Structure 1
């Protein structure tokens, strides 16, 4: 018979056993039903390896469907370190990888020794190296196809396109702004491994296809972009400028047809360039525009009718604003002139006086109406707002300075939009770079329509200002922007650069020109900004010829018909007579009888040569330059040698006792010093000659 003590012991054992079994049942229940899905997922993850397969980024096309940015397939190499436990095998693998991939062996070994399931060895590897490694069949080393961004046009439109990184992510330009649209959705490859991290043959291999990104169709026209960048390269080389920016805009829609900057970079290998070259000067840098801002002031005073076209002004070379004095660029002054002549002459006192008449309240109304001091909303990262003098702190001297384009800082995109609005019956448009978004099959996803913001000035004021700005080119400081067969409207600008510590530089300037064409039916607007050109720095000599080359070729490309006036149709042609052997008075009489004007270069009486040369057919009323031999002076005026051959240019310069340094072959297109510059005899004139099948850049002396 079991005693009571034994019964207690047996009962205790049963109780403990029951508790343990209960705990086990609860644990099994918890693991099976509460944590079941989570643990099952972990088990699957433990034996499955996911390899991400990046989607192809969408293509970026120009307005005509020409690809500017595409994705191309390229091989990448990765390792599964768990499969390389054998030390000798690991070293052997590292040696072969480092030799073929031209990598440091120690760094490769570090990658292979990592306690991770997946490690990139090298990405974007050339096909021949991938093929060589595949033939070795290295254990633990695998390959995957990735997509690499490629820009087939190289540097073309680099600041607009931007660039994408190695992980398919947009890092700059439109690539960044539209990254979520272009990127697409990544796919993956799932491979099943056993407990020893060995791939199981015929086991679960699942491939989830990536979904390619949408494509962008831009407003940028590849041909116009080429024209712009050609002219940029020419002016940077000729003037050795620090930087430059050009924008061409469709006036009626706000579409950007071309946008380019210098310095520039190649988005295919952007890391090889200093990151300062990535900066988009056209939208990110604010500068004092100088006289290219004067059309905005003119628009405001004409709209408010505080100034009329025939109002008279007097410029003695300066204007007093309180105790301060603002100088005119022409130190001796322009004398008496009406408002139109003031615009043609880019006379500072005329604009200061007009701005003061307008008053601070109305001036700021138009300043804000043209949306200066505010981002334009263009689809690019890094846009600046510009800098405005706070209205509450603006004094009369500030108002005077702002009226002629100083004190406030604007971005190139803000200024070209304002000029476009003046030409577009006063309507301010939102700039746009993207017109359509389509999927990888070409199906339209979104169409981006032109977006009018507001009408800043009336159509009547717009029409009036078109005529005034056309006269700036036909009769004023913008004469170097003239294009045969077209009426061109525009405004020159030459602004002193602001020093980092305040004040203005006495040696560095920003030369600019902005305008639109044709003046009577505006289609395109263009702004040229050249930062710190060497030598002659005036906007009329530096930027206007660049504008001319761009707008001339763009109008022809767009098939905008040239306008031939009745006067041009009736122009009589005459031949330059031979006057070299005549005395000066007789020579002048002979030119006058032929219906020609003349301009004497030099103080002597002996005629060395005429330009255009003897026998040249010109329009009746054309100007003939008479170069004379001056024994009492060592100075001579440099002639305009455009379109001459090397032999002709050499002969002309030799007669003027000047030397020649010829570059290239064909006809003269650029020269330094510029035509009209006075130099010492014996000076060397550098001339670039361009083959007949290449475009020329015209750069002539002017105000």
Structure 2
């Protein structure tokens, strides 16, 4: 009996201490939750009774050099539904089908979905959004939003780019300067009861959005529009696959115009810019066609520059001192290098000519000789010095790099063909940027579109800066190159670009694309003016013209027409003709 009492007492004590330990644990847990984790669970509780909707911020505008709006915003609406608040589901479904022109099955799926808020459709015209709001249906939310709008449709489409449904940039300047253009979204906060129904007595609180900054560019919409029209005209006249035109300031790298026709409609960027039956195509195939359409040939694609590259061989050779303007050469219509016979474009040859005349005649044998005089080491030294082996750093995404032979693989034949612009590839942007650097006195510039960031009151937020590198070519040689290239236009193969009264320098080119057997060509002309102080440099490329394809015959006159129209606009005046005295001096 005594043993049982002692045993029961022990059981009571054990149970007591177990209960006490549990109680202490519960108290400790409560203290931890109520004191140390109170903020966390307070927020969780608020979230159960708060509903949050975004207020989209207006995206910053893209402006041309004169303040003309190239990319703006259009007010649209986002239509959403809240299942728990809808009183008449059938009426709401009928209204959504009618006003949004969506299938009944889609509308029903959105309305019947049990979620805190369900988005039905975005980018709805404001007029439609206003009509839906007038119905006054409970559980239907109409929030104002912004959709990107491009006033000129196709103008500078490959440069500006466009935005997606989330209003973020996808290609072009829209994505490159996304952090500048995008604003900070606001919020609408409403309080709900335990069933998720909004409480009208408490109302809603708002955090207002902050609009993005505006981007001012170097593009001149007047020049861009004219170049686009000129490119379409050239493309039609010569039945070409495409035409690209670049115009820039060779002194600082600001790009006035970048055209690649056919352009595409920025307000409808997923519709192909040519007639094609897509009914039997997969979505992947259609997307590939869109990606191809969006490519900017001036930046994303490379090509063999042909005789335009002779400007670089000329600059390097004169700087290195391996050739002088009055050095003489002989052209018999070809040059034999090792076991290869490399032809001049004039199969009968140019005979005896000076280096300057060789440039005027665009004579391949002359530049083969000059390239071989330079040698592989010097040739690659100047490729690097001029910046041709690196990307230009232009402020657009997807820039392609130069495709060049490995130095160790370059023999006499490769060096000979490279000297007149064959067997390697560059982008048109690289060609124009490097040419600008060689004729502006020898300062390597970075081509760019962005100039400054401003707010809606046109107050300066940031002046955009781009790298330069001085001394890639001496000023003396740069002036000499300008003089030689002026003679190419006044007396040589570029004479079809000549404009009376203006000092224009330039170089023609006709390059063959791969495979050579396809007999496809790119006709081009590189020109700048005035030669004594270049203010504009232009590059025009005609891809796969039908019939006549010589650059001097079809590209040079096209650039002349552009120059004739933009010189007065840019304030480039005719050169004064010196008056001769009576004694003839």
TM-score strictly above 0.5: yes
Q: Which residue of 1 aligns with 2:137?
A: 138
DSSP-derived class of the 2:462 partner: strand
Maintained 8 Å contact 1:496/1:506: no
Question: Does 1:207 pair with 2:209?
Answer: no
Question: Does 1:455 pair with 2:471?
Answer: yes
Maintained 8 Å contact 2:77/2:142: yes
Distance 2:472 2:22 in 1: 86
Q: Which residue of 1 aligns with 2:224?
A: 225
Distance 2:209 2:68 in 1: 25
**1:550 corresponds to which of 555, 558, 562:** 562
Distance 1:370 1:202 in 2: 71
Q: Which residue of 2 aligns with 1:47?
A: 49
CA shift, 1:173, in A, is 0.6
Q: What are the within-5 Å matches in structure 2 for residues 259-298 of structure 1?
A: 259-273=258-272, 274-298=290-314
Report which stretch shifted further, 176-185 or 6-15: 6-15
**1:73 corresponds to which of 64, 72, 75:** 75
Report which stretch shifted further, 319-328 or 65-74: 65-74
Report which stretch shifted further, 301-310 or 22-31: 22-31
CA shift, 1:451, in A, is 3.8
Q: Which residue of 2 aligns with 1:183?
A: 182
Cα gap change, 1:459/1:10 in structure 2, threshold over 3 Å: closer, same or farther?
closer
CA shift, 1:402, in A, is 0.3
CA shift, 1:484, in A, is 2.5
Maintained 8 Å contact 1:213/1:440: no
Question: Does 1:530 pair with 2:529?
Answer: no
Maintained 8 Å contact 1:212/1:440: no
DSSP-derived class of the 1:261 partner: strand
Q: Which residue of 2 aligns with 1:162?
A: 161
Cα gap change, 1:387/1:12 in structure 2, threshold over 3 Å: closer, same or farther?
closer
Cα gap change, 1:422/1:21 in structure 2, threshold over 3 Å: closer, same or farther?
closer
Maintained 8 Å contact 2:524/2:541: yes
Question: Does 1:324 pair with 2:336?
Answer: no
Distance 1:402 1:160 in 2: 31
Distance 1:309 1:349 in 2: 16
Distance 2:210 2:581 in 1: 62
Q: Matched residue pairs, number?
A: 562
Question: Does 1:389 pair with 2:405?
Answer: yes
Cα gap change, 1:7/1:389 in structure 2, threshold over 3 Å: closer, same or farther?
closer
Distance 1:295 1:455 in 2: 17
Q: Write out per-residue CA displacement over residues 330-389 of structure 1, whole angstroms, 9 at most, x where no aligned residue.
A: 111111111111111111111111111111111111111221131100110000112011
Q: Which residue of 2 aligns with 1:61?
A: 63
Q: Which residue of 2 aligns with 1:30?
A: 32
CA shift, 1:111, in A, is 2.0
Maintained 8 Å contact 1:61/1:216: yes
Distance 2:175 2:118 in 1: 27
Q: Which residue of 1 aligns with 2:280?
A: none
Q: Which residue of 2 aligns with 1:510?
A: 522
DSSP-derived class of the 1:557 partner: helix
DSSP-derived class of the 1:455 partner: coil
**Structure with more helix by fraction:** 2
Question: Does 1:559 pair with 2:545?
Answer: no
CA shift, 1:193, in A, is 0.8
DSSP-derived class of the 1:429 partner: coil
Maintained 8 Å contact 1:496/1:505: no
Question: Does 1:350 pair with 2:350?
Answer: no
- Of structures 1 and 2, the larger Rg is shown by 1
CA shift, 1:183, in A, is 0.6
Distance 2:312 2:481 in 1: 10
CA shift, 1:7, in A, is 6.5
Distance 1:322 1:412 in 2: 31
Question: Does 1:540 pair with 2:552?
Answer: yes
DSSP-derived class of the 1:271 partner: coil
Distance 1:258 1:188 in 2: 40
Cα gap change, 1:194/1:462 in structure 2, threshold over 3 Å: closer, same or farther?
same
Maintained 8 Å contact 1:373/1:410: no
Q: Write out per-residue CA displacement over residues 406-456 of structure 1, whole angstroms, 9 at most, x where no aligned residue.
A: 011011011111221221112221112111112344332211246422322
Q: What are the within-5 Å matches in structure 2 for residues 87-102 of structure 1?
A: 89-102=88-101
Distance 1:510 1:421 in 2: 24
Distance 2:355 2:127 in 1: 71
Maintained 8 Å contact 2:75/2:125: no
Q: What are the within-5 Å matches in structure 2 for residues 338-377 of structure 1?
A: 338-377=354-393
**Structure with more strand by fraction:** 1
Q: Which residue of 1 aligns with 2:281?
A: none
Q: Which residue of 1 aligns with 2:285?
A: none
Question: Does 1:243 pair with 2:255?
Answer: no
Distance 2:90 2:166 in 1: 29
Maintained 8 Å contact 2:335/2:342: yes
Report which stretch shifted further, 225-234 or 347-356: 225-234
Maintained 8 Å contact 2:132/2:142: no
Q: Write out per-residue CA displacement over residues 246-302 of structure 1, whole angstroms, 9 at most, x where no aligned residue.
A: 111101111111111122112112122333111011111110000111111111111
Q: Tell me: higher relative CO, structure 1 or 2? Use CA pairs within 8 A at least 6 residues apart.
A: 2
Q: Which residue of 2 aligns with 1:579?
A: none
C-alpha RMSD of the superposition: 2.2
Structure 2 length as normaliser, TM-score?
A: 0.92
Question: Does 1:473 pair with 2:489?
Answer: yes
Maintained 8 Å contact 2:168/2:182: yes
Unpaired segments ≥5 residues, structure 2: 273-289
Q: Which residue of 2 aligns with 1:595?
A: none
Distance 1:128 1:181 in 2: 30
Distance 1:545 1:292 in 2: 16
Distance 1:293 1:535 in 2: 24
DSSP-derived class of the 1:142 partner: strand
DSSP-derived class of the 1:421 partner: helix
Maintained 8 Å contact 1:430/1:453: no
Q: Which residue of 1 aligns with 2:286?
A: none
Distance 2:17 2:41 in 1: 32
Unpaired segments ≥5 residues, structure 1: 571-703
